[in-house]
Amino acid sequence: MRSDPPPASLARRHAITTMGAGLAVGATAGVLPSQAGAAQGATAAVTAEYPKPPFPDQQQPWPALASRMQPRPDHGETSYRGSGRLQGRKALITGGDSGIGRAVAIAFAREGADVAINYLPQEEEDAREVVALIRKAGRKAVAIPGDLRQESFCTELAAKAREQLGGLDLLVNNAARQKPHRSIVDISSDDFDWTIRTNIYALFWLTKAAVPGMPAGSAIINTASVTASNGPGELLDYAGTKGFIVTFTKSLAKQLAEKGIRVNAVAPGPYWTPLQAAGGQLPGKLPQFGADSPMGRPGQPAEIAGLYVNLAEQGNSYTTGNVFSSTGGSGDV
């Protein structure tokens, strides 16, 4: 989900995070212990084949779609296997049409959750694929398009998701706006406001609307970024919003602990998503996207789904107020 931008101006940050040996990640996430050996072997084969730079220097008209990227991102469509870890849960995911949001929606559904996704109307083609995958997993899928930059829509989104899912106990604030600028003098007030409203106000408005109806045992997961502590010069406003999300997550976790609602964040590094092809990188940088990570490549959305599942499930009921970095070895928040 991107808030409605001018052409070629937007990208959302995506990421991969691990929480240690006890956490399932990527294609192995959600497998039973008896399945782990075979699944891990399959994962090694898959990840060894993930594409590395250079990539085609591609630009799509805004907003970009996953189906038109070269190579197409892997969201776990064929690899993620669930084991009922989120059985009966009700989840709302912003930016659920592609990238991290899509990977999380697929994983949540295959773990037994009913899922509502939010996205822009222009992203309907990608969103229809996600809805079909959720339903194929035997779960209820709810599609709620709209612009998160409007408080009234955020309030409506929370209400619609709760009503159509029959409750709401998982909220993933994943949608964001990213537009690079070489200098602070190039950032217009409209651009700055646009990023702030998408990355900060929308998260605040939606969480504020969702929390009153979330029961004890619920979980909120915010997508931050490694830029929160090591912001690139060209992502000044974006990095600032991600720093806010880190602090917001820690403070909200303290506030909601007495209600039994956990709040955590994921801090991503580079991920191969449609938004990178829609103005998320400075001109000429896309072909080498992710090449400077120790792994020599960007992450694929499928590689992060297991982390969100672990943060959502009740087995991690003492985990709150934390930020989990996943950067391909580039550093932590």
Residue position matching structure tokens 């001109």: 283
Tokens of 81: 């296997």
Catalytic residue among 238, 271, 308, 318: 238
Measured CA to CA, the distance from residue 331 to residue 46 in angstroms comes to: 24
User: CA 282, 284, 287 angle in degrees (round to 5)?
Assistant: 110
Residue 238 annotated as catalytic: yes
DSSP assignment of 138-161: T--EEEEE--TTSHHHHHHHHHHH
Q: 327: closest CA among 286, 288, 266, 270?
A: 270
> Contact, 331 vs 226, CB < 8 A?
yes
Return the residue matching tokens 């190039």.
186
Cβ atoms 95, 75 nearer than 8 A = no
CA-to-CA distance for 117 and 229, rounded, in angstroms? 29
Phi, psi of 268 (to 5 degrees): -80, 160
The residues that are catalytic are: 238
